[in-house]
Amino acid sequence: MRPTETFVVEDINEAHGFARLRVEGGSGLFHCGLFPEQGDGELSPLRLQLGDRVRGVRRGQTVSQVQWVSRAAPPEVLVRRMEELSRQLEARGLRVAVAPESLADHQWREGPGSPLLEALQPQLRLFFAWDEAHPFEDERLLDRVEQATAEHLPGFSVLPVPGVARFRVEPGSHVIVGGEPDWEEPARLFEPLVEHINQELGRAQALVRWMPVRDNWVLATQELVDLLVSNGVLQGRASA
C-alpha cells in the first residue's frame, strides 16, 4: 500500500480544472482534481485553493484520495468586502448571522448555493415560497402577501374569486383580473395584482414595493434589491 503524504496547493489551473501540489517540505509538482474527497468518499462541493494543505497518495505525477488537512484563509480583500456587505444589510434591517470569513471562503471556493441568502431568506418578504410549494398549490400565498403588504398598507386584504383568475382587493372593493395562468410562468397570473398593490403602496407613500427578482417578487426598497442583486444574493429578472 502506498503511503499517504501531505502536500501544499501551489497552483490552480482554471482552464483545465486541476491543482498542482508540492510535497510538504519537498520539491516537485504533482497534479490532482480541484475538489477533494470527503469522509464518505463523495467530492467536496468546495474546491481547493492556493495554500491549502492536503493529504493523498502519490501515483506517478498525480495524487489521489486527496483530503483536506487544513484550508487556507480566503483573501483579506474578499473578507473585507463581505464585512462591508453585512454592515450595509444590517443598516437596512437585515441581520447577517454568518461570519464574513465563512461567506468569503464560500465565494472564494465557488461553493454551491448561497449561505448569505439562506441566512437572509427568513427575513425577506418573498411573494412565492418556492421551497414550500409551487405557487398554484400554495394555499398560504395570498395570506402571506396580505400580511406582508398590510404592514405598509393598513387595511389591505386580498382574496381569490373562486373559479376565475381574479382577485378581490380591499380597500376599495377592487376586482383585479389576473393574467393567463401558466404553470411554467406563474408570475403571469399575479402580475396585474402586483401592479395594483404597488400603485396603492405608492399612494400611501410607502418606501417599499413588490420588486421583481428571478421567478419571484420581494417586498423591499429598490435600494435594498439593487444591493442584493449586485452582490449575487438575489438574481434580477431577465428583461423580456
Q: Is the peptide bond before 171 cis (omega within 30 degrees of 0)?
A: yes
pLDDT tens, position by position, 61-105: 999 999 999 999 999 999 999 999 999 999 999 999 999 999 999
pLDDT tens, position by position, 169-194: 999 999 999 999 999 999 999 999 99
What is the model's pLDDT at position 222?
95
What is the model's pLDDT at position 240?
41
Alpha-carbon torsion, ordered 68, 74, 75, 81, to 10 deg: 170
Residue 80: phi and psi, rounded to 5, are -65, -35
- The fourth-level CATH superfamily of domain 4-70 is Nucleic acid-binding proteins (2.40.50.140)
pTM: 0.83
Locate 199 and state its grid cell: 400603485
Residue boundaries of the structural domains of the chain = 4-70, 73-121, 124-240
What is the model's pLDDT at position 238?
57
Average model confidence (pLDDT) across the chain: 93
What is the model's pLDDT at position 15?
85
Residue 191: phi and psi, rounded to 5, are -55, -45
Tell me how far CA of residue 230 lies from CA of 78, 221, 222, 225, 234, in angstroms: 15, 14, 12, 8, 8
Strand partners, 175: 168
In this prediction, the residues of the chain whose per-residue pLDDT falls under 50 are: 239-240
